[in-house]
């Protein structure tokens, strides 16, 4: 979603801000803008569309040393120049990530006091509110403190005040914001990658913390009292946010999967049962598990449900977070709520976590981004080792989540004595072979060839049963996200209850057949579509006669199979999107981290 970058130092703030915003382009946006101080005035430049449009509008002879910038993903009002950030009202100029839920109410009060908004945004209302409160307080800190008590919703603000042109202010609630330092240079940003080019040292703001950035000082306040914050060091590399010769981040990240799966597993499991007992949380007391997540993370939950129910025999409920947060939930002290999130900032997942926490239920988060809100608020957190994921369509984080969920399943199976020693050893050997097996799936000219056959179709179906169905959900999501083809996954037996009416001559149907017990059933469902003219692409462990095309993948223990099955589906989606000329790393309308509900 929206990105924020602010700079204060000796160098050209415009260059730093634009570089930072470009690093955050992957988050998805539809307009961009900057505000900076020049000749004792705050100058604002904004443009609809890509950062390139903004760059063309910036007078590069200006050399400000303080400023704020923003990429906006429209929520309130169209993505046009008027609605783009920064917004300015009276003495204040602000950039904002998040949503002010009570902005209509506040707007009414402000309008009664003579304020008139020029845009459709909640952000301009927040900006006007600051100006309104400041008239009485005449102090930015006190104004922010008062404002935060009036603002409902989520926000991360970067703020300039006309009365303090050498100071940057920042405040957050439920939307990420970091402050980074490099000598006397200071940055504020919504995400760590924005500052990695310059420094890896940063501070994480907590809800309602206020940061005051000045030339010679950096001060943090909470409830108007000065506080100290612990410096964080980002341990990944700047390279992780570069393409390194790959045409797209998505492809690079698909190719990183052997490593991230290996790293994630190696962090928690050294081949011994002891390591699982020591590195993964105690799970003995739980009689039921709720897995809550959104999008692809939800799909990993579907895989985990099948694994845990089949291998361990524990009942698992998998819920989409935007539903779970509002529905009646049945849980107790023997329930473990597992939330899964790459970004650790997804608004609905965070709200579901808070709900479970408030109800006193044990919570465990599986997260990629270290120090993110979900990671900090869960009672226990397990990090996947995927590194920085840039492409909007998740691939390596999805696989790393599967790897961690497989280990949790293995530990549960040991606790519940549902696997014998022999099977444990079999899984251990299979884990050792897994990275190489994933690697073996990366380079295959068949993906391009199949893409050429089907890229012009407007409907593609994915069929599978049980585990194969869970993976097909992710395959279909990957394809629709980046190629805009209407791709839908169905449990193989379900298509004939309605949707098969859409199958016509040449409709591609991707059938996933890795579950030997389900093989015959799924194949006969595929034949039903073939009888209506479908073009079948099979993903299977051994040659089958039924398909027009067959992508063979290695066999492994079912607990690991999904990490192999997903690779051809990701690469097919990639090649199809490429053949259609789509902007693969920045698909339309999508954002990397969904911080609003």
Exactly one of 393, 441, 473, 577 binds ligand F6R (CB under 6 A); that residue is: 393
Q: Per CB under 6 A, which region of 159-167, 253-261, 339-347, 540-548 contacts ligand F6R? A: 339-347
Q: Write each residue from 481 to 520 as x if it is in contact with ligand F6R (CB under 6 A), else as -, in one continuous string.
A: x---------------------------------------
Minimum CB separation of residue 175 from ligand F6R in Å reads: 14
Instruction: Give dist(CA 405, CA 400) in Å, integer.
Output: 9
Which residue number, 349 or 487, has a Cβ lying nearer to ligand F6R? Answer: 349
Which helix (H) or strand (E) segment is 168 a member of?
strand 164-173
Instruction: Give dist(CA 156, CA 137) in Å, integer.
Output: 22
Tokens linked to 208: 């309602």
**107 catalytically annotated:** no
The answer to whether 593 contacts ligand F6R (rule: CB under 6 A) is: yes
Instruction: Give dist(CA 591, CA 400) in Å, integer.
Output: 20
Q: Per CB under 6 A, which region of 284-292, 338-346, 425-433, 441-449 contacts ligand F6R? A: 338-346
Minimum CB separation of residue 243 from ligand F6R in Å reads: 18
Minimum CB separation of residue 570 from ligand F6R in Å reads: 10
Q: Are 185 and 65 in contact (CB under 8 A)?
A: no
Which residue among the candidates 385, 466, 480, 592 is catalytic per the annotation? 592
Distances (CA, A) of 356 to 23, 350, 352, 379, 593: 34, 10, 6, 10, 22
Which residue number, 561 or 593, has a Cβ lying nearer to ligand F6R? Answer: 593
Q: Per CB under 6 A, which region of 69-77, 182-190, 343-351, 557-565 contacts ligand F6R? A: 343-351
The answer to whether 193 contacts ligand F6R (rule: CB under 6 A) is: no
SS3 455: coil
Q: Per CB under 6 A, which region of 38-46, 340-348, 462-470, 536-544 contacts ligand F6R? A: 340-348
For 18, residues 6+ apart whose C-beta sits below 8 A from its C-beta are: 34, 51, 54, 55, 58, 69
Minimum CB separation of residue 437 from ligand F6R in Å reads: 23
The answer to whether 346 contacts ligand F6R (rule: CB under 6 A) is: yes
Instruction: Give dist(CA 339, CA 347) in Å, integer.
Output: 12
Q: Per CB under 6 A, which region of 101-109, 114-122, 342-350, 510-518 contacts ligand F6R? A: 342-350
Instruction: Give dist(CA 162, CA 129) in Å, integer.
Output: 15
Tokens linked to 135: 């008239």
The answer to whether 322 contacts ligand F6R (rule: CB under 6 A) is: no
Instruction: Give the position of tokens 């014998």.
Output: 420
For 486, residues 6+ apart whose C-beta sits below 8 A from its C-beta are: 458, 459, 460, 480
* N residues, the chain: 597
Which residue number, 88 or 343, has a Cβ lying nearer to ligand F6R? Answer: 343
Chain centre to alpha carbon of residue 545 = 39
Which residue number, 172 or 478, has a Cβ lying nearer to ligand F6R? Answer: 478
Kindly tell me the burial class for residue 28, based on how many C-beta atoms sit within 10 Å of its own C-beta (0-12, 13-18, 19 or more). Answer: buried
Exactly one of 353, 375, 419, 594 binds ligand F6R (CB under 6 A); that residue is: 594
Exactly one of 175, 349, 507, 565 binds ligand F6R (CB under 6 A); that residue is: 349
Which residue number, 295 or 435, has a Cβ lying nearer to ligand F6R? Answer: 295
Instruction: Give dist(CA 98, CA 76) in Å, integer.
Output: 11
Task: Note if the bond before 86 is cis, omega within 30 degrees.
Answer: yes
Question: Closest Cα partner for 189 from 536, 125, 274, 197?
Answer: 197
**2 catalytically annotated:** yes
The answer to whether 174 contacts ligand F6R (rule: CB under 6 A) is: no
Instruction: Give dist(CA 416, CA 428) in Å, integer.
Output: 18
Q: Are 329 and 289 in contact (CB under 8 A)?
A: no
Which residue number, 124 or 389, has a Cβ lying nearer to ligand F6R? Answer: 389
The answer to whether 427 contacts ligand F6R (rule: CB under 6 A) is: no
For 555, residues 6+ apart whose C-beta sits below 8 A from its C-beta are: 514, 541, 542, 561
The answer to whether 154 contacts ligand F6R (rule: CB under 6 A) is: no
Which residue number, 129 or 369, has a Cβ lying nearer to ligand F6R? Answer: 369
List strands edge to edge, sheet with 153-161. 87-89, 92-100, 153-161, 164-173, 210-214, 217-222, 225-227
- Return the residue nearest ligand F6R (CB atom): 295
Kindly tell me the burial class for residue 504, based on how many C-beta atoms sit within 10 Å of its own C-beta (0-12, 13-18, 19 or more). Answer: exposed
Q: Per CB under 6 A, which region of 46-54, 238-246, 341-349, 537-545 contacts ligand F6R? A: 341-349
Which residue number, 161 or 353, has a Cβ lying nearer to ligand F6R? Answer: 353
Minimum CB separation of residue 392 from ligand F6R in Å reads: 6
Which residue among the candidates 2, 127, 540, 582 is catalytic per the annotation? 2
Minimum CB separation of residue 465 from ligand F6R in Å reads: 23
Q: Other CB atoms closer than 10 Å to residue 569's CB: what's the count?
A: 24
Exactly one of 123, 257, 394, 409 binds ligand F6R (CB under 6 A); that residue is: 394
Minimum CB separation of residue 508 from ligand F6R in Å reads: 20
Minimum CB separation of residue 261 from ligand F6R in Å reads: 17
Which residue number, 171 or 473, has a Cβ lying nearer to ligand F6R? Answer: 473
SS3 357: helix
Minimum CB separation of residue 342 from ligand F6R in Å reads: 3
Which helix (H) or strand (E) segment is 171 a member of?
strand 164-173
Which residue number, 190 or 593, has a Cβ lying nearer to ligand F6R? Answer: 593
Which residue number, 352 or 561, has a Cβ lying nearer to ligand F6R? Answer: 352
Strands 217-222 and 210-214: antiparallel
Minimum CB separation of residue 399 from ligand F6R in Å reads: 12
Minimum CB separation of residue 375 from ligand F6R in Å reads: 11
Instruction: Give the position of tokens 């895989």.
Output: 303
Site for ligand F6R in 238-297 (CB under 6 A): 294-297
The answer to whether 167 contacts ligand F6R (rule: CB under 6 A) is: no
Q: Per CB under 6 A, which region of 75-83, 141-149, 233-241, 336-344 contacts ligand F6R? A: 336-344
Exactly one of 341, 409, 525, 561 binds ligand F6R (CB under 6 A); that residue is: 341
Task: Give 513's strand partners.
Answer: 540
Determine the straight-line distance between the first and last CA of the chain, rounded to whole angstroms. Answer: 12
Q: How many residues bind ligand F6R (CB under 6 A)?
A: 15
Catalytic residues: 2, 592
Binding site for ligand F6R (CB under 6 A): 294-297, 341-343, 346, 349, 393-394, 477, 481, 593-594
């Amino acid at each position: 979603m929206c990105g924020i970058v602010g700079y204060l130092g000796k160098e050209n703030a415009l260059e730093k801000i634009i570089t930072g915003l470009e690093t955050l382009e992957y988050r998805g946006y539809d307009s961009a803008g900057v505000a900076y101080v020049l000749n004792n005035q705050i100058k604002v430049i904004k443009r609809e569309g890509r950062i390139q449009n903004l760059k063309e509008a910036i007078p590069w002879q200006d050399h400000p040393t303080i400023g704020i910038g923003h990429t906006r993903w429209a929520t309130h009002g169209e993505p046009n120049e008027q609605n783009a950030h920064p917004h300015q009202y009276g003495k204040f100029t602000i950039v904002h990530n998040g949503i002010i839920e009570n902005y209509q109410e506040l707007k009414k009060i402000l309008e009664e006091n003579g304020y008139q908004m020029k845009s459709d945004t909640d952000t301009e209302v927040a900006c006007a509110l600051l100006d309104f409160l400041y008239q009485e307080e005449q102090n930015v800190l006190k104004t922010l403190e008062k404002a935060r008590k009036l603002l409902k919703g989520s926000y991360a603000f970067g703020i300039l005040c006309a009365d303090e042109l050498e100071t940057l202010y920042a405040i957050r609630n439920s939307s990420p914001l970091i402050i980074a330092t490099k000598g006397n240079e200071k940055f504020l940003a919504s995400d760590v990658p924005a500052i990695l080019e310059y420094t890896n040292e940063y501070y994480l703001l907590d809800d309602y913390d206020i940061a005051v950035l000045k030339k010679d000082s950096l001060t943090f306040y909470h409830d108007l009292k000065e506080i100290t914050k612990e410096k964080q060091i980002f341990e990944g590399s700047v390279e992780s946010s570069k393409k390194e010769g790959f045409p797209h981040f998505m492809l690079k990240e698909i190719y990183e999967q052997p490593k991230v799966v290996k790293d994630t597993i190696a962090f928690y499991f050294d081949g011994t049962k002891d390591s699982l007992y020591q590195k993964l949380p105690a799970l003995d007391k739980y009689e039921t598990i709720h897995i809550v997540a959104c999008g692809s993370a939800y799909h990993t939950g579907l895989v985990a449900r099948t694994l845990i129910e089949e291998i361990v025999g524990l009942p698992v409920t998998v819920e989409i977070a935007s539903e779970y947060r509002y529905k009646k939930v049945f849980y107790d002290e023997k329930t473990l709520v597992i939330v899964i999130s790459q970004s650790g900032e997804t608004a609905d997942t965070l709200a579901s976590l808070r709900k479970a926490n408030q109800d006193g239920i044990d919570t465990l988060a599986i997260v990629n981004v270290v120090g993110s809100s979900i990671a900090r608020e869960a009672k226990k957190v397990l990090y996947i080792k995927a590194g920085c994921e840039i492409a909007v369509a998740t691939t390596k984080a999805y696989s790393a989540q599967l790897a961690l969920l497989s280990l949790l399943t293995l530990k549960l199976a040991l606790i519940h004595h549902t696997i014998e020693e022999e099977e444990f050893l079999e899984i251990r050997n299979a884990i050792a072979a897994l990275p190489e097996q994933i690697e073996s799936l990366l380079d295959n000219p068949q993906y391009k060839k199949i893409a050429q056959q089907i890229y012009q179709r407007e409907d593609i179906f994915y069929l599978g049963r049980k585990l194969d169905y869970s993976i097909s959900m992710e395959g279909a999501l990957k394809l629709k996200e980046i190629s805009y083809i209407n791709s839908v996954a169905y449990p193989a037996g379900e298509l004939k209850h309605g949707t098969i009416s859409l199958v016509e001559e040449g409709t591609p149907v991707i059938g996933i057949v890795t579950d030997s017990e389900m093989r015959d059933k799924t194949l006969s469902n595929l034949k039903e579509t073939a009888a209506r003219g479908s073009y079948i692409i099979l993903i299977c462990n051994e040659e089958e006669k039924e398909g027009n095309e067959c992508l063979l993948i290695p066999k492994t223990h079912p607990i690991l199979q999904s990490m192999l099955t997903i690779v051809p589906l990701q690469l097919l989606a990639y090649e199809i999107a490429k053949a259609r000329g789509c902007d693969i790393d920045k698909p339309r309308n999508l954002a990397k981290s969904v911080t609003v509900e």
